[in-house]
Amino acid sequence: MSAATLCIGLPAQVNTDCRVLLLGSMPGIASLQAQHYYAHPRNRFWPLLGDLCGFDPAMPYAQRLQSLAANGVGLWDVIGRCERRGSLDADIVRGTEVANALPALIAALPDLQLIGCNGGAAMQAFQRWVQPQLATSAKVLALPSTSPANAAWSLPRLRQAWQPVAVALATSSGHRQDNTLPTGSAGGP
């Protein structure tokens, strides 16, 4: 087994008019190296969100982030740093996790309707470190992982399971412009 490496997550991509907050557990190696969310070429996150939000998932990363924000979608991870022996959630060394400051972030999102956890590990981490401190009326939903490790779920099947995201975006109020929130991980790097 390989030695554990300290992994420090990516900054939040969330505006104050966020209506849907999508949370991963901790970015994989490809994402951390690229400093881009969901950078693994076989991860279905960008094709799925492009379909749900109506943008081209092949456009440059900065434009994809802008499209998510324009649609009221924010991105972050539950875990801000941890030690990991590989790229998978199962490789995270238990007890080394430090959660991101999600309760404070969520409290600052007045339009938030849905918190979607991308995969079981994200949901478990959310329930362990965030939910006990949370005061929100937003619905919390476990979504099947878009990771290539979840190969049993085809893109059409993922699209169907992720429909609550599309519904929350379609039924929510209009959004305001230029509302970037400063955020950081709990405990720092």
Q: Which residues belong to the active site?
A: 43
Going from the C-alpha of 3 to that of each of 42, 86, 93, 131, the distances in angstroms are 25, 9, 10, 31
Residue 52 parent element (H or E): helix 45-53
C-alpha 153/C-alpha 151 separation (Å) is: 5
Distance CA 14, CA 91 (A): 27
Residues 179 and 14 sit within 8 Å (Cβ to Cβ): no
Q: What are the structure tokens assigned to 164, written together?
A: 């609550």
- What the block records as the tokens of 122 is 């994200």
